[in-house]
Structure 1
Amino acid sequence: MGSSNQWDAEWEVSEELAHKLISSQFPQLASKSVKKLGHGWDNTVFLVGAEYVFRFPRREVAINRLRIEGKILPMLKDYVSITYSVPLFFGEGDYDYPAPFLGYPYLSGEFPIGLTDQQRALSATTLAQFLKSLHAFPIQIAQENGVQHDHRNMTDIALRKEKMHKFITDLALHFSEEEYHVISNYLEQLETEKVKQKHVFLHGDLHFKNMLVDMNGRVSGIIDWGDINIGHPACDLNLVYSFLPPDARSNFFKEYGDVDEETKLLARLIAILIPILIMMQAIDDRDEKLVDEAKANIKRALAD
């Protein structure tokens, strides 16, 4: 079907179809229930029994990403210091469903929605250790397994600004006048047009919908690795601004290491861009809880 939004599905995956695909290819799971948990831009996610989560691509662009993810994730065990999703089941399209799919152990935890600044600060060192180690994964191994270089051209700030101006104009009715002007003024004052490219291994899509926290609000899991790529560390370092409150950022950098101002500038920009994109889809889905959390992420990213 044609898509009117860039996050719209090109094909839908129902619970019935997911159960049929899973049970036919993995008979040991045939007796387990299949319940839809939700969807992102690229994948629909199902809980299978109480032990597994399966991700099914809902757009063609996600197919190759999922195959790469299936190859790379098992290789990261010595480079990832937070629990993450390692695939156990590798399925292929059938019953007119055109894509591969993956199954992982279920990771317990909740999305970090509505946390206090004190709770967020608990994870500053944990996140720094995670990203420092992840960014050290050998680029050559990533390349040999098909990982792309900065396929979204994230270092082009001028292009990001142009798109963000359009996005916030489209979203104007969902911001207060003050919120709109704060974002608009930030973009107007951003004079850098492009930053120098850097090349590290990235998760590529770190935000509050791809993180899990424990009952104390401490980060306990990282999920959805479908945007793995080689690119600028600022893409992952956006969490320093979107997730951590200002007074916890110095603790992050003490552990992660020194970062130049250009990297910080790009990281903050991405920390505003990603929640704007999440907000757009959440409005389309009429999910006010996600809209509010996305706006809180933007406000935190703009705070000094």
Structure 2
Amino acid sequence: MSTGQIASAPPVGEELVRRLIAGQFPRWAGAAVARVPSGGTVNAMFRLGDDMVVRLPLTAGGAEDVALEQEWLPRLAPLLPAPVPEVLGAGRPAEGYPWPWSVYRWLPGRNPEAGALSEPGALAEELARFVAAMRRVALPGAPAAYRGGPLASLDAATRAAIEALRGIPEEGVDCDAVATVWQDALRLPAWDGPPVWLHADLMPGNLLVDAAGRLTSVIDFGCMGRGDPACDLFPAWNLLPADGREVFRKTLGVDDATWARGRARTLSQALISLPYHRDRNPAMAANARFVIRSVLADPEGGPA
């Protein structure tokens, strides 16, 4: 059976990781293995010793990201102002586990929490510098970013999510208001410049900060590629408060139309996420609610 035909992985636990490491990387076979708690839904992570982490996809889609990261992260790392995952080992399917997997160097830090940032202005500047550096990357042969296409490509899923939320009144989402924001966004001018390099999934769970709240690294590049620069504006609404949002925009130098597309893209992701994750993943559902509140409170929708 090909990996593309497998919908999800068999149970993934510490014993499986020990067997995979022993069989393919015997030099690390004696290292302690411990699962890392994570709000992510695509990969399972296990600490390996003190300075490594094993990352195993939980879905066929996640498995496709493994080769992408193994190919591009070593080439991107020297070009970026914040550390990114360093691939130490490329694992193969074995022991009943059907997909490729990776061993990375451990990156210390914690995920920032929307609404509870200690240094929002400084973090906003650091995120803007990271996004700007991604845009300047000129490596040839880049893939298309997972979310890099036109806004219209998100229309059907976004409208379906709004209708789903109408059926969940306890969420308290103003569905008419978000539908208006989305409809207005579809009339915005599309990006007419060359596609730029994107991380394309700058969620709080893919950022690490230190005890002072400063950016220490950016992780999970499974959606990376080239596309509309609006795709990397997500932190403006999924993480930063209003004053930090303005610092982020000013530092990055974003035009009105791109800013409005970024706002709409972030809203679309949150609307699609909330009905799916509300009973599955509390952290992702909470962030989706934060985004919806942030967007509806933000009058900067772009040009009239």
TM-score normalised by L of structure 1: 0.84
What corresponds to 1:183 in structure 2?
A: 178
The DSSP-based 3-state class of the residue aligned with 1:103 is strand
Q: Where does structure 1 differ by over 6 angstroms across 4 or more consecutive aligned residues?
A: none
Q: CA deviation at 1:152?
A: 4.6
What corresponds to 2:263 in structure 1?
A: 268
Query: Mapping of 1:78-93 within 5 angstroms?
Result: 78-93=78-93
What corresponds to 1:109 in structure 2?
A: 109
Count of equivalent residues: 290
Cα gap change, 1:281 to 1:183, in 2 (>3 Å): same
What corresponds to 1:161 in structure 2?
A: 155
Distance 1:295 1:199 in 2: 30
Distance 1:175 1:261 in 2: 34
Query: Mapping of 1:80-229 within 5 angstroms?
Result: 80-116=80-116, 119-140=119-140, 143=141, 147-152=142-147, 154-155=149-150, 157-172=151-166, 173=168, 176-192=171-187, 195-197=190-192, 198-229=194-225
Q: CA deviation at 1:242?
A: 2.3
Please tell me the residue identity of whatever aligns with 2:20. Answer: L
Cα gap change, 1:160 to 1:105, in 2 (>3 Å): same
Q: CA deviation at 1:254?
A: 3.4
Residue number among 230, 236, 249 corresponding to 1:234 in the alignment: 230
Query: Mapping of 1:16-27 within 5 angstroms?
Result: 16-27=15-26
Residues 243 and 300 in structure 1, CA contact (< 8 A), matched pair in contact too: no
Percent of paired sites with the same residue: 27
Deviates most, 55-64 or 88-97: 55-64
**Higher RCO, 1 or 2 (CA under 8 Å, sep at least 6)?**
2
What corresponds to 2:12 in structure 1?
A: 13
Cα gap change, 1:46 to 1:12, in 2 (>3 Å): same
Runs of at least 5 residues in structure 2 that lack an aligned partner in the other structure: 2-6, 299-304
Deviates most, 235-244 or 115-124: 115-124
Alpha carbon RMSD of aligned pairs, Å? Answer: 2.6
Q: CA deviation at 1:174?
A: 6.6
Q: CA deviation at 1:238?
A: 2.1
The DSSP-based 3-state class of the residue aligned with 1:132 is helix
What corresponds to 2:4 in structure 1?
A: none
Residues 21 and 95 in structure 1, CA contact (< 8 A), matched pair in contact too: yes
Please tell me the residue identity of whatever aligns with 2:282. Answer: E
Cα gap change, 1:177 to 1:280, in 2 (>3 Å): closer
Q: CA deviation at 1:235?
A: 0.9
TM-score normalised by L of structure 2: 0.84
